[in-house]
Amino acid sequence: MSPLIIKGARVIDPAAQRDAKGDVFIKDGKFVASLSAADKKRAKKIDAAGLVACPGLVDIHVHFREPGQTHKETIATGSHCAAAGGFTTVVCMPNTSPVADNAGTIQFINDAIRRDAVVKVLPTGCITVGMKGQALAPIGSLKRMGVVAITDDGDCVQSNELMRRACEYAKMFGLPLMDHCQDHSMTQGAVMNEGVMSTRLGLRGWPNAAEDLIVSRNVILSGYTGAHIHLQHISSKLSVEIIRRAKARGVRITAEATPHHIALTDEALAGYDTNFKMNPPLRTEADRQEIIAGLRDGTLDCIGTDHAPHTDYEKDKEFDYAPNGILGLETALAVVLGVLVREQKFKLPQVVDLMTRKPAALLGLPAGTLAPGAAADLCLFDPAEKWRYDAKAGFSKSRNSPWHGQTLTGRVKTTLVDGRVVFDGAKIKA
């Protein structure tokens, strides 16, 4: 592979506090500080004038549905979505069919990743057997197979005692626990945020208190056991406040926000469009603003998309019966730029940080940096380009996006993994 020069980009590398116009050099699949004159001469060049070059984006919360639900997505198609969205490292959730609660299933996933993925896909394993919240999964074996965290995903562990033991046990392996914070006893049959909108629409409400309680529980258990708990897709104002206070005390918790929870509120449900149905649900403007404030002050560590593909025929149902979740990978960068940079006036390097260095750092992944010697995973995007997102023309097997048909600003032009172009702005280069 010939050396590569990304020429004339605005280079943003939060790890090095770099934000300047310049070139990026790549040789043998790794970033290098410079190239020899001979290498420069034979190097391939990508003209990146007007574009931003940053570390490949990192998403620690995706659902690739393999094994078992490959009609929705596969590791291949999911990784294509990632590449098209500028993501070079993604962490996939274990709520597959069967669930990833044993070494054999992780082996299957690892094989599929090696065979099919165009970006770096890292597996997680379950906290409990069958994700049933009753007995610990073989967490040590899962760790040996390379899981980067354990989580029961949408089936939040309800037993405080079991969660406590999971924390203590996982800590032995240095494995973080990721938790979808939801008290099930308070959310029976719930399909949207509880409040004025659920009252108007006659839909069963999911009170933010059900999230706040488990966030508090996790803060307490993390403090008690010393385990690292990562709180997934925070949706509630009070949860942000609880996390802020806990972090000030030095508790080992981290937390993420999704693009949809910072862009949308439950007002979007007025037409019962199931492409706005996800769990946790969209909440109010006050919640949205506090999540953004949490990203601004570091209370929330990163963006995670919760990319959750479901087919048309699964989503095309009465609101109560449609599954939760929306696509995220291909629209994440544009949506986040729209909210955080254009609406909320975040500096671009801070946003890049939230989507690269910080998510990588919280799981200890060797990603999210342009440092010499690091794998040449890179995202090249035009922050100003307007484009119309057509979910039907996207790379997912599913189309369940609330942004379908909308004009978004900010477009990924090239994605590199290990110095190789995997997305060229139009096509996946498998």
Partner 1 sequence: MPWNRRHLLTLEDLSLAEIDQIHATAAAFKKILGRSVKKVPALRGKTIVNLFLEPSTRTRISFEMAAKRLSADVISFDAASSSTTKGETLRDTAQNIQALNADLIVLRHSASGSPLYLSRVLDIPVVNAGDGAHEHPTQGLLDTFTMREHLGSLRGRKVVILGDILFSRVARSNIHALVKLGAAVTLVGPSTLVPDWFTALGAKVSHDLKSALADAEVVMLLRIQHERQSSSHFPSLGEYTGMFGLNQTRAGWLNPKAIIMHPGPINRGVEIDSDLADGPRSVILEQVTNGIAVRMAVLYLCSGGQPEAVTTNAT
Query: Pattern 214-253, binding to partner 1, x per CB under 8 A?
Result: ----------------------------------------
Q: Are 175 and 198 a contacting pair, CB within 8 Å?
A: no
Sequence-distant (≥ 6) Cβ neighbours of residue 182 within 8 angstroms: 154, 156, 206, 210, 211, 214, 279, 280
Q: In angstroms, what is the minimal distance from the CB of 20 to partner 1?
A: 50
Nearer to partner 1, 224 or 321 (CB): 321
Please tell me the count of residues contacting partner 1 according to CB under 8 A.
19
Considering only residues 272-291, where is the footprint of partner 1 by CB under 8 A? 272
Nearest to 145 by CA among 184, 106, 191, 195: 106
Stretch binding partner 1 (CB under 8 A), from 223-231, 283-291, 317-325, 380-388: 317-325
Sequence-distant (≥ 6) Cβ neighbours of residue 418 within 8 angstroms: 29, 30, 375, 376, 377
Catalytic residue among 116, 155, 301, 306: 306
To the query of whether residue 424 is one of the catalytic residues in this protein, the response is no
Nearer to partner 1, 285 or 320 (CB): 320
Which of 32, 51, 121, 203 touches partner 1 by CB under 8 A?
A: 203
Stretch binding partner 1 (CB under 8 A), from 152-160, 221-229, 316-324, 383-391: 316-324
Which of 85, 176, 195, 259 touches partner 1 by CB under 8 A?
A: 195
Identify residue 384 by its one-letter amino acid code. Answer: A
Stretch binding partner 1 (CB under 8 A), from 214-222, 311-319, 378-386, 396-404: 311-319
How far apart (Å, rounded) are the C-alpha atoms in residues 126 and 129?
7
Q: In angstroms, what is the minimal distance from the CB of 194 to partner 1?
A: 8
**Residues carrying an active site annotation:** 306
Q: Which residues bind partner 1 (CB under 8 A)?
A: 188, 195-196, 198-204, 271-272, 313, 316-321
